[in-house]
Amino acid sequence: MASLNLAESEQILAAAKAKVQSMGAKMSISVVDPRGDLIVMFRGDGASWRTPPISRAKAMAAACFGRPSGELTDNAQAPVFRGLMAMEGGHMIPGQGAVPAYRNGELVGAVGGSGGTAQEDEDASLAGIQALGLTTSA
């Protein structure tokens, strides 16, 4: 399974951080591999203590399903989805703010944000993906 490497993940994080700063938001951003395991994360100055785990949980949802986390919200109460969230110990959040990362049609990870509005979280995440020339769909 292909995955983002550390250098790529740090580039994504730098671009997302620049977007967060340009918005004046107090956010955290997480970059995960295709399984949802954390590669890198930052917590911006003034961001709440809860934003790092939420950013990772949104990124995990996007990675596990290969779709933006906001697209998963409508199915969040389905028994299978609830079971998966429980199996993951509650570390998966199907709420807007994270996008998957694809290279040449293959899922290589995801980026998630927390601390801004849901749209700001997604915009910062998307800025990171785009800076590396990746896409959000296969």
Contact indicator for 66, 109 with CB cutoff of 8 Å: no
Inside any domain, residue 138: no
- State the Cα–Cα distance between residues 27 and 123, nearest whole angstrom: 12
Per-residue pLDDT of the chain (138 residues; tens, 9 = 90+): 899 999 999 999 999 999 999 999 999 999 999 999 999 999 999 999 999 999 999 999 999 999 999 999 998 888 988 888 888 888 899 999 999 999 999 999 999 999 999 999 999 999 999 999 999 999
pLDDT tens digits for range 65-74: 999 999 999 9
What's the pTM?
0.95
Inside any domain, residue 137: no
What is the CATH classification number for the domain harbouring 94? 3.30.450.150
Domain span including residue 51: 6-104+116-131
SS3 content of the chain, % helix, strand, coil (to 5): 45, 20, 35
- Cα-based distances in Å from 12 to 15, 77, 129: 5, 31, 6
pLDDT tens digits for range 33-57: 999 999 999 999 999 999 999 999 9
- State the Cα–Cα distance between residues 97 and 95, nearest whole angstrom: 6
Query: What is the number of structural domains in the chain?
Result: 1
Inside any domain, residue 1: no
Contact indicator for 29, 20 with CB cutoff of 8 Å: yes
Inside any domain, residue 136: no
Inside any domain, residue 19: yes
Inside any domain, residue 109: no
Inside any domain, residue 24: yes
Inside any domain, residue 111: no
